[in-house]
Structure 1
Amino acid sequence: MDNLLPFGGLSPHKIWVCHPKSFEDAKDAINMMRADDMLLVNLATLESNLAQRLTDYFAGSTFAISGEHMEIGKGVFLFAPPSFSVRKIVASAC
């Protein structure tokens, strides 16, 4: 396997994993998405009222920049800027 080449540097995009504890954390994460990176946000460990408020904040901010979002697990969300297309694959296609 000496003929394999690394794929480093092919994409300037990043996926940031975020466990926000406050709106200040969420604001910082939204700024990363505005810089054209995706966010993987885990709100599963937060108290339900705060988790709902942060979910609404992330979703509204994503909508404001014409991005897309999807819940990918209980309390775990993917938020993407408009340069990404987020699509759900049906289980039979996996």
Structure 2
Amino acid sequence: MGGKFVDKVKYFMGLDDYDEDEEIMDTPVEVEEEVKTINNAKKVLNIHTNSQMKVMVCEPVEFEECPKIVDNLKNRKPVIINLEKLDNDLAKKIFDFLNGAVYAVDGNIQKISKGIFILAPNNVDIGGNISEEFKNKGIFPWQK
């Protein structure tokens, strides 16, 4: 057995002729046929797209507008929401709902100012630092 390996190596390196007839096989060989399918449809991607990202700006006045805002997030569009003019309970309810939706789409939420937030899906990266003025204050006007 060791001699066969050496003969194969010599043949591979071109030092000796290899004779397959000398090998004696004790076990039968099973041959598996591999079926390959070739898809002739070619996909073309244009890397020079001029598509612009659309940012949605929303100022909800009732809770029922939340699913429309979430639809924009699901369609991978960032949304800026203004909750400044709402009463505190409704603003908190809307914020909690949208915060859950942002988590579900693996997105980000960033406070812009008191009551104004940007909600971004995972394809949008939000960068920047919020000023010290807003860091020590609560998210909503009722928080201090």
TM-score normalised by the chain length of structure 1: 0.80
Alignment-mate amino acid for residue 69 of structure 2: A
Specify the structure having the higher radius of gyration (Cα): 2
> Structure 1 stretches (4+) deviating beyond 4 angstroms?
none
| Percentage of identical aligned residues | 27
In the alignment, is the contact (CA less than 8 A) between 1:13 and 1:36 conserved in 2?
no
Please give the secondary structure, in 1, of the residue aligned with 2:85.
coil
Please give the secondary structure, in 2, of the residue aligned with 1:26.
helix
Aligned residues: 83
Find 1:39's aligned residue among 79, 82, 86.
79
More strand per residue: 1
Give the match for residue 90 of structure 2.
Answer: 50
Q: Which residues of structure 2 form unaligned runs of 5+? A: 1-48, 132-144
Deviation at residue 41 of structure 1 after TM alignment: 0.1
Give the match for residue 109 of structure 2.
Answer: 69
Deviation at residue 33 of structure 1 after TM alignment: 1.2
Please give the secondary structure, in 2, of the residue aligned with 1:30.
helix
Q: Which residues of structure 1 form unaligned runs of 5+? A: 1-8
Q: Distance in 1 between matches of 2:95 and 2:58?
A: 12
RMSD: 1.6
In the alignment, is the contact (CA less than 8 A) between 1:17 and 1:41 conserved in 2?
yes
**Do structure 1's residue 11 and structure 2's residue 51 form an aligned pair?**
yes
Deviation at residue 23 of structure 1 after TM alignment: 2.2
Give the match for residue 64 of structure 2.
Answer: 24
Alignment-mate amino acid for residue 114 of structure 2: K
Give the match for residue 124 of structure 2.
Answer: 84
